[in-house]
Amino acid sequence: MWESVFEKMVSRLIRSGELRVTYPDGQTKSYGPGGDLAAAITIRDAAIIRGLCTRPDLTLGEAYMDQRIVVENDDLEGLMRLVLRNRYETVFPIWVRVFNQMRFRLGHWIQRNTPDLARSNVAHHYDLSNDLYKLFLDEDMQYSCAYFTDPSVSLEEAQAAKKAHIAAKLMIEPGMRVLDIGCGWGGMAITLARDYGARVVGVTLSENQLALARERVKEAGLEELVDLRLQDYRLLNEPFDRIVSVGMLEHVGLPHYEEYFSKVADLLTEDGVALIHTIGLTCPPAAQSEWLVKYIFPGGYVPSLSELALPIEKSGLWNCDTEVLRLHYAYTLRHWLKRFDANLDEVRKTHDERFIRMWRYYLIACYMTFEEEQQGVFQFQLAHKPTAVPLTRDYLYRGAPSTSHRRQAAE
């Protein structure tokens, strides 16, 4: 039964390109009219076919991790591009669509990131190993979308450009108190203190990140300017001239958006400016990848622009500017995958082959989503007053003062 359901589903799915499937009994069938897009898989376990018909997203990822599905030449990118370019909602059986709708409707329960759950979810991903992340991130360990002024620039240049772009939007002056919500390994906090003379408080829920970030602050001689804490942002109660949050909103969860933006408003001074940088959808809201939530980001959620507009409005803050970064994260993820693959011998010293397949699946699936679907990165510039920032973006591109000038001003 399930094989016939699977064949019908795949036959409807592949409208351009070709998918070649080798079944557990050795029989090979091709689906689609052919063309430039092509991929081939071997299904080693008959039980997988039922999973592909009932929970295709979770099953494909798990079966690849367990090698119960083998992709020819390990061309995950080719397989995912073929599927994503052909995918449309009604191709899946009714029970798959109902299940996804139920998961979406239960989002407020699934993403109930209370302080305890939030810390547990963060630990699942960010407390894996600092050494693992060092193998594929840039030297400053920026684990978020870089800013590519040109696709050919290095990852280090693009991450430095990201921090400079954000700092320009924040218009930081020496001595300002800056809050970094989700400070990671401390790169943004160090940059804002060292190069702009800011006094930075950074909060994170990751013990591994905090330990390394504090080491880096000490090595940089910035202990008087940078205060890093293992603390939930919701427990803060002090004023800040500037607030920055990069790649953290995705972990807040749909039920907590009003709470999040309300807290930003409460902590921001009357003349203050906040910059919120997050992955987002430019299409209607949808259920998150079941595989990604289970294995990579429990409690995570990528919001649509429409889901963020209302909580921002309710916060009372002015949305002074919204910028959408297109494809920048795809370029970033491709750099990460290249570095990860180049360091596989080191990864194998601490992680097994299943973990490697899981991590490669994660990185490839993510950049495929940015390249093939309506997903990008939003930067919201928020303030209590419409006059808190210039009326146009011209100030961002006139050229910022030199680092030495900022240091002198700080002194």
397 and 287 in one domain?
yes
The CATH code of the domain that includes 54 is 3.30.1050
Torsion of CA 202, 208, 213, 215, to 10 degrees: 140
Residue 251 in any domain: the answer is: yes
Q: Are 35 and 17 in contact (CB under 8 A)?
A: yes
Residue 94 in any domain: the answer is: yes
Residue 255 in any domain: the answer is: yes
Query: Of 81, 105, 129, which residue is a domain's last?
Result: 105
Residue 110 in any domain: the answer is: no
Residue 233 in any domain: the answer is: yes
Mean pLDDT of 377-393: 96
Catalytic one of 53, 145, 183, 366: 366
Does the pLDDT at position 66 exceed 60? yes
340 and 245 in one domain?
yes
Q: Band of the pLDDT at 406, cuts 50, 70, 90? A: very low
Pairing of the two strands 17-22 and 28-34: antiparallel
Name the CA radius of gyration of the chain, rounded: 23
Residue 253 in any domain: the answer is: yes
210 and 323 in one domain?
yes
DSSP lists the bridge partners of residue 200 as 178, 226
352 and 308 in one domain?
yes
124 and 50 in one domain?
no
Q: Are 147 and 362 in contact (CB under 8 A)?
A: no
Q: What is the mean pLDDT of the chain?
A: 90
Q: Band of the pLDDT at 402, cuts 50, 70, 90? A: very low
Say what the pLDDT of residue 403 is: 38
Mean pLDDT of 189-195: 98
Does the pLDDT at position 76 exceed 70? yes
158 and 79 in one domain?
no
Q: Band of the pLDDT at 198, cuts 50, 70, 90? A: very high
347 and 272 in one domain?
yes
Residue partners of 63: CB distance under 8 A and separation at least 6 = 43, 45, 48, 51, 52, 69
Specify the higher pLDDT residue, 53 or 343: 343
89 and 196 in one domain?
no
Distances (CA, A) of 286 to 9, 97, 104, 271, 369: 21, 11, 6, 36, 13
252: tokens are 């807040």
147 and 86 in one domain?
no
Q: Band of the pLDDT at 405, cuts 50, 70, 90? A: very low
Does the pLDDT at position 179 exceed 50? yes
Mean pLDDT of 242-265: 95
Mean pLDDT lowest among 146-155, 185-194, 306-315, 394-403: 394-403
Residue 305 in any domain: the answer is: yes
Distances (CA, A) of 29 to 5, 6, 169, 274: 14, 12, 54, 55
Domains identified in the chain, total number? 2
Say what the pLDDT of residue 410 is: 38
320 in active site:
no
Residue range 341-363, pLDDT digits in tens: 999 999 999 999 999 999 999 99
Counting residues of the chain whose pLDDT is more than 70, the rounded percentage is 87
Say what the pLDDT of residue 1 is: 78
Query: Of 105, 138, 155, which residue is a domain's last?
Result: 105
Mean pLDDT of 123-149: 89
- Residue 236 domain boundaries: 115-410
Residue 306 in any domain: the answer is: yes
Query: Of 46, 81, 105, which residue is a domain's last?
Result: 105
Does the pLDDT at position 106 exceed 90? no
The 3-state DSSP class for residue 378 equals strand
Q: Band of the pLDDT at 331, cuts 50, 70, 90? A: very high
Residue range 146-163, pLDDT digits in tens: 999 999 999 999 999 999
